[in-house]
Every structure is written in structure tokens, then in C-alpha cells.
Amino acid sequence: MILDSFETRPTRFHDVSQDKWGSWIWQQQNRLRTPEDFDGVVNLSEPEVRAFIDASNMFKVAVTPHYAALMGQQPSCPIRQQSLPQVGELEVWPFELEDPLAEEQFMPVEGLTHRYPDRALLYVTHNCPVYCRHCTRKRKVANPATTSSNPQLDSALAYIADHDEIRDVIVSGGDPLSLSNARLATLLRRLREIDHLDVIRIGTRNPVTLPQRIDDELAQILAEHAPIYVHTHFNHPREVTTQSVTALQRMVSAGCVLGNQMVLMRGVNDDVETVLELNRLLLRHGCRPYYMLQCDMAQGITHFRTPIQTGLDIVAGLRGRIGGLGIPDFVVDLPGGGGKIELTPDYLVEERPHEAGRELRFRNYAGKEYTLVDVVR
């Protein structure tokens, strides 16, 4: 069942009108940041309180009332795990990296990573409505001192304009929809003016954590620069709310092409049924499951990491139960800037020589075996 966050709003917000609840500005201004703010929302467990005190110094806490309204009363609730500090964040592992994807190393100008020849990643802000505990960019997200200044953005855009091998720009952050509409409109206009760009993408978790942000005015801006490819970040079916569905519909109507990047996390979404339910909901509302990302080797998120085999088992379990549109690529972003690789289940059972090349025996999603002659000339 799809939740409506206004209907499930905690007692703390019972007096809030539907109009206020629907205002993204009100949602931003009333974010929950301290343990006391959660009175009348959830009863924090003792480990959550301890983690709040110790871990929030390392990475800020902010939760929109909308997202808080999705929390269950158990600490194992997937919404709580993703937004409330966890004791696992305090555990330090020697292999963890501050910048797991070496984004700073491939930064020719401040605020822009150019790793693959044809793509560039542009960081426009380090603010987000909710600070996700699994964030891979904890080193700078939530730190206002690292937000792009106008000259920094100018030089990043000049770099893109000077490099005609760049055909695809991903506007990222933080959450780019934390920018004002005016700044966003200017940014999209300036990107559209660069003739060699084929693709403009925006990576945002606002449809999940602050869906009210996708209002008519923003939809109009997106429509003016269509098609904008929007990567959403839904991790659990509980996050697909009435408000999120409205946000997705507005973006689809504005000509956006939607794809979801789910992060695979222990205890949050590391089973076939959860991913299947999420992906069915997303497809129903025009958002294609695009990536299922293995959690990076970032500091303070090891407690979320799952064995690689878990991701492979989920992909194999989805096959046969949902069409290919609902099966995301299971991707590992290699540490040190190696880039993304896609991992797939191994369906090959046996290989034998054949007069035309080789004979391959495969096992399908249902466990049945079939032989295919692979013609090799």
C-alpha cells in the first residue's frame, strides 16, 4: 500500500495543515535535527540516542517531516536506518576510504569530475533535504563550506564548453534540487547552450525525501530544457508515497526520462521481495530501475555493505518475475576511480566443443537447462 505522509504524519505535526505539509519550504524549515526533535515522532532506541550523540558530529542529521512520517516504531525500520545515525557509523575499518571513487583525483577544475572521456560530473551544492547515513560523499555533503560558488561554477561550465568530447553531464551534489529555481534554470540554460552536449542528467533524492519540491514551477523549468534525464534514488517501497508519485508524474509530464539508482543495503533492501516490490511501483509510475549499486567503500557505511553474492542473487531472483525493464544493472563502482562495472549472475552450466564452434549449456531463471550452439568462425 502506498503511504500518504500527510495521513501518517506523527503527533508532533498533527496541527499542521495540508497546505503547509505540501510546501517544500515549510518542509525544509521544519527539518528534524536533534534527538529532542524526534519526540512525538518515534521513540529513539538507546543505540540510536548514543549514535546521535557520537555520529552526528561526523555527519549532520536532517530529516524532513515528510520522510519522518514514514518511520516505523522499530529501529530496524528501513527509513530510520537510512536517516538516523547508527552505531555502525562509529566503527572504523582500515579499508574504508574518505573519497572511495577518487572523485577529487579526477577533478581538472574545482567542482567537476571528468573520469570517463564523454561524461562529466558537476557538483552544484552540498545540501540535501535529508542526510542519508549511507552517503558516499560524506566528506563534503552537509558542509556548506564546500558548496559551489559562482566563479567555481563558471570555470566548471567553461571546462565543459572547452572539451567537446564531453557529451553527457550529470548535475549532482549534494542534491541539485536544493538550488533555487532561478539558479537551476540558469544552470540548465547554460548547459543547453553547449552544443556538443547530448545528455543532461540530474541526480536527486528529492522525489523521495522532499517530493513537494517538484512543484509546477520546477516542472516548468524542467520542461523548458527537455529532455532532462533524472536519476532518482528510491531504496525501499515504503519511500514511494502519494507525494512521491505526484512528483514522478510531474516530471514525466515535463518530458523527463526517469531512472532509479538504488543502493543495496544490509537490512534495508537486501532481498528479492523488497526490490521486486520497489521496482514494480517505480515502473508503474514511469521510473525505470536503472542501477542497483553495491555500497561503496566509504567511511562509516560498512555496516550497510552486503556480500557481492547478495546482489547477484537478487538479480537472478528478479529474472522471470518481472520483465527486463524492472531489472536494474547490478553495478560496483570500483574504488580508486576504476569506474563502474556490471556484475551478472552466471547462467552457464557447461561448455563443450562443437563442429560449428561450441555448445553451451545454460540454466534459466526457473532452474531448467537448455543448450545453445555458439557459432564461432
Instruction: Please report, as residue ranges, which positions from 261 to 320 form the binding site for ligand SF4 (by CB under 6 A).
Output: none
Span of 124-132, 161-169, 247-255, 319-327 interacting with ligand SF4 by CB under 6 A = 124-132
Q: Does 31 bind ligand SF4 (CB under 6 A)?
A: no
Span of 85-93, 134-142, 152-160, 269-277 interacting with ligand SF4 by CB under 6 A = 134-142
Cross-strand pairs, 232: 260
- Candidates 88, 100, 111, 173; binder of ligand SF4 (CB under 6 A) is 173
Annotated catalytic residue within 20, 266, 288, 340 = 340
Which residue, 122 or 132, has its beta carbon nearer to ligand SF4?
132
Q: Is 287 tagged catalytic?
A: no
Q: Is 128 tagged catalytic?
A: yes
Span of 14-22, 128-136, 181-189, 321-329 interacting with ligand SF4 by CB under 6 A = 128-136
Written as one letter, the residue type at 256 is C
Q: Which three cell numbers stand for residue 150?
A: 559562482
Backbone angles phi, psi at 54, to 5 degrees: -90, -40
Q: Is 115 tagged catalytic?
A: yes
- Candidates 9, 66, 80, 137; binder of ligand SF4 (CB under 6 A) is 137
Q: Does 128 bind ligand SF4 (CB under 6 A)?
A: yes
CB 38 within 8 A of CB 32: yes
Helix (H) or strand (E) holding 243: helix 242-253
Span of 68-76, 93-101, 167-175, 359-367 interacting with ligand SF4 by CB under 6 A = 167-175
Instruction: Please report, as residue ranges, which positions from 177 to 206 form the binding site for ligand SF4 (by CB under 6 A).
Output: 205
DSSP assigned state of 101: T
Q: Does 141 bind ligand SF4 (CB under 6 A)?
A: yes
- Candidates 65, 111, 174, 211; binder of ligand SF4 (CB under 6 A) is 174
Collapsed DSSP state (helix, strand, coil) of residue 99: coil
Distance CA 225, CA 109 (A): 25
| Least distance from ligand SF4 to the Cβ atom of residue 129, Å | 8
Span of 111-119, 172-180, 338-346, 367-375 interacting with ligand SF4 by CB under 6 A = 172-180
Cis omega before residue 227 (within 30°)? yes
Annotated catalytic residue within 137, 138, 238, 250 = 137
Q: Is 162 tagged catalytic?
A: no
- Candidates 67, 131, 304, 330; binder of ligand SF4 (CB under 6 A) is 131
Distance CA 136, CA 301 (A): 8
CA distances to 114, 173, 307 from 295, rounded to whole Å, are 22, 18, 10
Which residue, 135 or 318, has its beta carbon nearer to ligand SF4?
135
DSSP assigned state of 123: E
Instruction: Please report, as residue ranges, which positions from 71 to 90 form the binding site for ligand SF4 (by CB under 6 A).
Output: none
* E strands in the chain: 112-113, 119-123, 168-172, 199-203, 229-232, 257-264, 287-294, 329-334, 339-343, 348-354, 357-363, 369-375
Backbone angles phi, psi at 28, to 5 degrees: -65, -45
CB 93 within 8 A of CB 304: no
| Least distance from ligand SF4 to the Cβ atom of residue 234, Å | 12
Torsion of CA 311, 314, 316, 320, to 10 degrees: -150
CA distances to 73, 116, 142, 214, 253 from 204, rounded to whole Å, are 27, 21, 15, 11, 17
Cross-strand pairs, 359: 352, 373
Q: Does 67 bind ligand SF4 (CB under 6 A)?
A: no
Q: Is 116 tagged catalytic?
A: yes
Distance CA 238, CA 84 (A): 16
| Least distance from ligand SF4 to the Cβ atom of residue 36, Å | 22
Span of 17-25, 153-161, 169-177, 247-255 interacting with ligand SF4 by CB under 6 A = 169-177
Instruction: Please report, as residue ranges, which positions from 316 to 355 form the binding site for ligand SF4 (by CB under 6 A).
Output: none
Tally of CA atoms within 13 A in the half-sphere of 224 that contains its CB:
17
Annotated catalytic residue within 128, 256, 287, 295 = 128
Annotated catalytic residue within 159, 213, 296, 305 = 296
Q: Is 137 tagged catalytic?
A: yes
- The catalytic residues are 115-116, 119, 128, 132, 135, 137, 296, 333, 340
Instruction: Name the residues that contact ligand SF4, by CB under 6 A.
Output: 128, 131-132, 135, 137, 141, 173-175, 205
